[in-house]
Amino acid sequence: MSIDFKGRVAIVTGAGGGLGRQHALALAARGAKVVVNDFGGARDGSGGTATAAEAVVVEIVAAGGEAIANAASVTDYVAVQAMVQQAVDAWGRVDVLVNNAGILRDKSFAKMEVEDFRMVMDVHLMGAVHCCKAVWPLMTAQKYGRILMTTSSSGLYGNFGQSNYGAAKMALVGLMQTLSLEGEKHDIRVNALAPTAATRMTEGLMPPDVLAALKPEAVVPAMLFLVSQDAPSRAIACAGAGTFEAAHITLTQGLHLGNGPDAPEKLAAAWAQVSDRKGETVPASGAAQGTNEVTQALAAR
């Protein structure tokens, strides 16, 4: 089964370089009309120019594809709305949204300024919220949409010096979980991708031989699958160096201990059993936790 995007319109944010550029090129190569969005700022989010996005558009057009450039900051909701309207004016619809824009302001939590925390949250989390909100009515009306959140192992598992980035990236998973539920009846499928790739964001963080193995192109197949017509929904895919994994947020079977005065001591004594992963589940929604807890409580009566 061939994955193609003929007749589809895609928006890729942060597509002026690195992983976003590869996403845009790959979607265009498989037939999508692409809005190449990039604010053109530095790695920390400062500055801004349309040059990077325009250069990728030139590449796509030279290869026989269709693309337009957009330099909106994803932190600016009005500008994001205008970007979506730009796509509609040019091609009449939006089928795919790849939320890839991001910045880094790494420091240990003790040394990090609150403003650096807030700015990273604003770009990664609120940037994705703005883009999703802008395309949601279109996708609902056309009964079709594919949205991808770019999460990270730093969010899923933590990484020293990236409390702001990790918090934002895990928040995107929560956003994905709920939007996938709300979008299901409209065939809007929402997934998350945790890439490991050598880009401007990772310069100086890894040895040269490792960086060579982690080409951004090696992540792209996961993106193409997760925004394809037959994509899953609510998936958290991980990808790097041509290797693909799936991450899950699970719930153990747990143990009913009651709420008596000695419940804290009981929990401390039974923690190994409570956290035993045998028989754990991937809940269909947040309600599963409460259902499990109440079921065990009623059974213990």
Q: Which tens digits make up the pLDDT trace of 228-257? A: 999 999 999 999 999 999 999 999 999 999
**Per-residue tokens: 93:** 């619809």
Residues of the chain with CATH 3.40.50.720: 9-247
* 157 tagged catalytic: no
Average pLDDT over residues 278-290: 97
Annotated catalytic residue, options 77, 144, 157, 165:
165
Q: For CA atoms 18, 20, 25, 27, give the dihedral sign.
A: positive
- What is the side-by-side order of every strand in the sheet holding 33-37? 66-70, 33-37, 9-12, 96-99, 145-150, 188-196, 236-240, 243-247
Query: What pLDDT was estimated at residue 212?
Result: 81
Q: Which CATH number fits domain 9-247: 3.40.50.1370, 3.40.50.720, 3.30.1280.10, 3.30.1340.10?
A: 3.40.50.720
Residue 89's Cβ-count burial label (10 Å; 0-12, 13-18, 19+) is: exposed
The pLDDT confidence band at residue 48, using thresholds 50, 70 and 90, is low
**Contacts with 103 (C-beta within 8 Å, 6 or more apart), sequence order:** 41, 43, 44, 45, 119, 120, 123, 124
Cα separation of 166 and 152, whole Å? 7
Q: With 0-12 CB in 10 A as exposed, 13-18 as middle and 19+ as buried, what is 31?
A: middle
pLDDT beyond 90 at 47: no
- Residue reference for tokens 């992983």: 19
State mean pLDDT over 13-20: 96
- The predicted structure's pLDDT at residue 52: 93
| Interatomic CA distance for residues 22 and 11, integer angstroms | 13
Taking each helix axis as running N to C, give the angle between helix 163-183 and helix 114-121, from 0 to 180 degrees, rounded to the nearest 10.
30
CA distances from 94 to 60, 72, 82, 98, 121 (A): 18, 17, 13, 11, 25
Residue located via tokens 């920390």: 44
Select the more confidently predicted residue: 206 or 274: 274
Tokens 């250069």 sit on residue: 55
Buried b (16+ CB within 10 A) or exposed e, 239-268: bbeeeeeebeeeeeebeebeeeeeeeeeee
* Closest of 270, 212, 201, 228 to residue 10, by C-alpha: 228
**Are the C-beta atoms of residues 191 and 181 closer than 8 Å to each other?**
no
For residue 120, give the nearest of 96, 152, 97 by alpha carbon: 152
pLDDT in tens, 110-157: 999 999 999 999 999 999 999 999 999 999 999 999 999 999 999 999
Q: Which amino acid is at 142?
A: Q
Q: What is the mean pLDDT of residues 87-100?
A: 98
What pLDDT, on a 0 to 100 scale, did the predictor assign at position 42?
54
Burial, 142: exposed, middle or buried (Cβ in 10 Å; 0-12, 13-18, 19+)?
middle
